[in-house]
Amino acid sequence: MRKDIHPPYGPVVFRDKSAGFAFLTRSTATSEKTVDWEDGNTYPVVDVEVSSASHPFYTGTAKVLDTAGRVERFERRFGAR
């Protein structure tokens, strides 16, 4: 890799405020806000809208759409014209 063209890669806390869930990982994302983590160190924190703790797919609240039934219902209503 060439020097001085890549952003710094370091520890960052991603926090999902809607679910009260946070995790520490490494990223190039930065933030002016910081948080004191469980290990006693201070890390930059990035607030996210959706994480695995609040996404319907991961929480098991996702709805399965019956697309075949919708197509059949549409054809019954409006006919194959």
pLDDT in tens, 43-74: 999 988 777 777 666 666 666 666 667 777 78
Rounded-to-integer distance, Cα 48 and Cα 53, Å? 11
In the chain, what are the helix, strand and coil shares in percent, each to the nearest 5? 20, 30, 50
User: What does the block give as tokens for 25?
Assistant: 């990982």
The pLDDT of residue 12 is above 80: yes
In which residue are the tokens 């890390």 written?
43
For 39, phi and psi rounded to 5 degrees?
-85, 0
pLDDT number for residue 18: 79
Percent of residues, the chain, with pLDDT higher than 70: 79
Percent of residues, the chain, with pLDDT higher than 90: 35
- Does the model's pTM come out above 0.95? no
